[in-house]
């Protein structure tokens, strides 16, 4: 048994010295000093020895155990020091290096312009109202004086939720006008910003999903002059006091008389000398940005008001197009491609 203990000690010390990782060292400990290890296997044989030999061999076994434990501890300390040295060398932090700044998110340019629009109209006494983006035919067309055969109802212009049903994605924010008039009494000054949908091809000035701001005023003495004053003041506060605006006669089912407002193209220069190659105004020098007019008597009736007692005006503008003009962009698609290199140029 003395020879076995000596051989076990020599073998354990050699294996401990050869370990390169903490896992290897733990395996050596379990193999020699564990409950089912080699040393315990020898100690279980002490009972078969003569009583006179047991104390001396027991003391020798304890010496062997202590020697192996000390060797394991020393090797563990050596491996720990080596790991720390390697970590300090490979993972060191140079505190003299400049810090890494984190890029901050900000409001999308479309939302920035929309908020500017809202702020301007709120300063003129308008309040904000919202409505659902999934509408029915009555609110989107019927109550707004669209005849049953109007081409805007066609699937070429309108995105219907299901075939044969009158549920659709709203084509404008004007349904909010109907909802507010049916739930409120004059005087009314309301704007309704929101997302709208049409079957348009994506190009530099159009998108199948875009943004509008609907606005209207209803009271006893509202006139077309009020409409012109509000819109001219709005555009000059948004684009600057020298902004050139023109009104053109037009037609909309929900207003009579109706007009379209143009603004001098900011992308190609002045309206007098437009650039024929301009992708925004296509060489016209002017860009149509909103439609407006006096609310049609049929729309007032559909909203629950007597056209003989009250009058009103309404307007609708494309936030996307105003954003193009606001920042001199020549392609609407830039606003929807989510390129952070582009969007990062418009911090709020």
Q: Find where tokens 């140029």 sit.
A: 345
Domain for residue 99, yes or no? no
- Same domain for 321 and 180? yes
3-class state of residue 103 by DSSP: coil
Is 269 a residue whose pLDDT tops 60? no
Residue 130 shares a structural domain with residue 82 = no
Residue ranges in 144-195 assigned as alpha helix (H): 175-183
The token pair that represents 46 in the structure block: 């002490």
Question: Would you place residue 3 in the very low, low, confident or very high pLDDT band (cuts 50, 70, 90)?
Answer: confident
Residue 348 lies in a domain: no
In three-state secondary structure terms, 22 is: helix
Whether residue 16 has pLDDT greater than 90: no
Domain that holds residue 77: 2-90
The answer, as to whether pTM is greater than 0.75, is no
Cis peptide before 149 (omega within 30 of 0): no
| 133 and 29 inside one domain | no
**The residue to which tokens 């193209």 are assigned:** 265
Say whether both 252 and 310 belong to one domain: yes
Q: Please check whether residues 135 and 245 belong to one and the same domain.
A: yes
Residue listed under structure tokens 């999934």: 134
**Tokens coding 69:** 């434990």
Domain termination residue (choose one: 90, 118, 145): 90
Considering its fold, how many domains does the chain have in total?
2
> Is 305 within a domain?
yes
Same-domain check for residues 270 and 310: yes
The sign of the CA dihedral 200, 203, 209, 210 is: negative
Tell me the per-residue pLDDT of 29-65, one tens digit each, with 9 for 90 and over.
888 788 777 777 776 666 666 776 667 777 777 787 8
Query: Of 55, 90, 125, which marks where a domain is finished?
Result: 90
Domain-located, residue 222? yes
Kindly state whether residue 240 falls inside one of the protein's structural domains: yes
- Of 90, 123, 151, which one is at a domain's C-terminal end? 90
Whether residues 9 and 81 share a domain: the answer is yes
Do residues 147 and 280 both lie within one domain? Answer: yes
The answer to whether the CB of 315 falls within 8 A of the CB of 292 is yes
- Do 81 and 195 reside in the same domain of the chain? no
Indicate whether 196 and 149 sit together in one domain: yes
Let me know whether 167 and 85 are in one domain: no
Same domain, 27 and 120: no
Q: What's the token pair of residue 192?
A: 């309704």
pLDDT at 172 over 90: yes
């Amino acid at each position: 048994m003395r020879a076995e203990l000596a051989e076990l000690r020599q073998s354990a010390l050699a294996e401990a010295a050869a370990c390169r990782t903490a896992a290897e060292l733990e395996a050596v400990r379990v193999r020699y000093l564990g409950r089912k290890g080699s040393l315990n296997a020898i100690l279980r044989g002490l009972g078969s020895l003569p009583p006179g030999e047991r104390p001396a061999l027991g003391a020798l076994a304890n010496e062997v155990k202590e020697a192996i434990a000390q060797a394991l501890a020393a090797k563990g300390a050596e491996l720990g020091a080596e790991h720390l040295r390697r970590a300090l060398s490979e993972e060191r932090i140079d505190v003299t290096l400049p810090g890494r700044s984190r890029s901050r998110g900000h409001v999308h340019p479309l939302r920035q312009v929309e908020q500017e629009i809202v702020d301007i109209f709120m300063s003129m006494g308008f309040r904000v109202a919202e409505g659902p983006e999934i509408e029915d035919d009555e609110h989107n067309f019927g109550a707004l004086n669209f005849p049953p055969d109007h081409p805007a109802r066609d699937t070429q212009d309108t995105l219907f939720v299901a075939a044969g049903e009158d549920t659709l994605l709203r084509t404008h924010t004007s349904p909010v006008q109907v909802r507010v008039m049916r739930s409120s009494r004059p005087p009314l000054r309301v704007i309704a910003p929101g997302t709208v949908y049409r079957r348009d091809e994506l190009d530099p000035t159009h998108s199948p999903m875009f943004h509008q701001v609907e606005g209207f005023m209803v009271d006893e003495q509202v006139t077309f002059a009020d409409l012109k004053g509000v819109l001219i003041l709005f555009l000059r506060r948004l684009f600057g006091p020298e902004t050139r605006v023109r009104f053109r006669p037009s037609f909309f089912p929900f207003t009579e008389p109706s007009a379209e407002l143009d603004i001098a193209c900011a992308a190609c220069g002045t309206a007098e000398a437009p650039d024929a190659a301009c992708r925004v105004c296509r060489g016209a020098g002017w860009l149509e940005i909103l439609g407006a007019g006096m609310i049609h008597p049929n729309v007032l009736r559909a909203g629950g008001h007597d056209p003989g007692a009250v009058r009103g005006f309404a307007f609708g503008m494309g936030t996307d197009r105003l954003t193009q003009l606001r920042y001199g962009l020549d392609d609407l698609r830039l606003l929807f491609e989510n390129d952070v290199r582009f969007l990062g140029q418009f911090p709020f």
